[in-house]
């Protein structure tokens, strides 16, 4: 089972308590560890976390830098534990604009865990669904131009093979915390038939118990994939 989570509401959680927005982000970062830990126990084999979007660069400079500091800390503090827990970590998005030290940490973490066979953990940093499609299209176009791919040979599978999530199943369920009812440019190609859930709980309060409740509700849904006759 593949679950994608849009981890929303950190800043609002902090503001509602009279705290700086970065305090909410720090609380949210600690929540990540708990959700990753509990995912295998709940039957989740792939977990994709939307950590930083291509649009998040528009936020205040101090908030962006604070988020980057949290990314550094998460990777440094959890590298060995993730490996010991047999978690395979992959990163989605365009890493080019990120600081060199962050890119090196990402390479180290993904390289160390590449042969692990437990939970597949995708972390989306500087990720946007439209940007992903653009990058995939450019890669396909380059192959057409150099003659290694025919235009007539391009299929849905071709596009899937050039996405950041290639070789992975599409998400079965996408959860967005904090009650906002939109995907915000998250996995817009892959979510064609994903079930959606919008719990009115901010990410810092998204406990393992709330997570389990979401998965229990999902288990009761009937997925038809466009077939109206499915039971």
Q: What residues are annotated to the active site?
A: 8, 56
N-to-C CA span, the chain: 20
Contact assessment for residue 194 and residue 46, using Cβ atoms and an 8 Å cutoff:
no
Task: Please give the C-alpha separations between residue 181 and each of 5, 14, 31, 145, 206, in angstroms, as whole numbers.
Answer: 13, 21, 21, 40, 17
Nearest CA-CA partner of 217 in 172, 158, 162: 172
Helix pair 61-84, 21-38: axis angle to 10 deg: 20
Q: How far apart, in whole angstroms, are the C-alpha atoms of residue 136 and residue 128?
A: 12
């Amino acid at each position: 089972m593949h679950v994608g989570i849009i981890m929303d509401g950190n800043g609002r959680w902090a503001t509602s308590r009279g705290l700086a927005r970065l305090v909410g982000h720090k609380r949210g970062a600690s929540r990540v560890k708990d959700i990753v830990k509990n995912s295998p126990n709940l039957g989740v084999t792939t977990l994709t976390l939307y950590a930083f979007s291509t649009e998040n660069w528009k936020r205040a400079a101090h908030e962006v830098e604070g988020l980057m500091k949290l990314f550094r800390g998460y990777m440094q503090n959890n590298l060995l534990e993730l490996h010991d827990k047999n978690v395979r970590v992959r990163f989605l998005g365009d890493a080019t604009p990120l600081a060199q030290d962050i890119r090196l940490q990402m390479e180290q973490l993904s390289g160390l865990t590449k042969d692990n066979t437990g939970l597949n953990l995708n972390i989306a940093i500087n990720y946007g669904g439209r940007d992903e499609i653009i990058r995939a299209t450019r890669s396909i176009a380059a192959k057409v131009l150099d003659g290694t791919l025919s235009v007539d040979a391009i299929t849905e599978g071709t596009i899937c093979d050039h996405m950041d999530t290639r070789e992975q199943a599409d998400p079965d369920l996408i959860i967005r915390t904090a009650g906002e009812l939109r995907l915000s440019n998250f996995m817009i190609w892959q979510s064609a038939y994903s079930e959606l859930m919008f719990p009115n709980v901010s990410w810092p309060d998204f406990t393992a118990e709330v997570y389990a409740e979401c998965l229990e509700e999902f288990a009761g849904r009937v997925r038809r994939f466009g077939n109206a006759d499915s039971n």
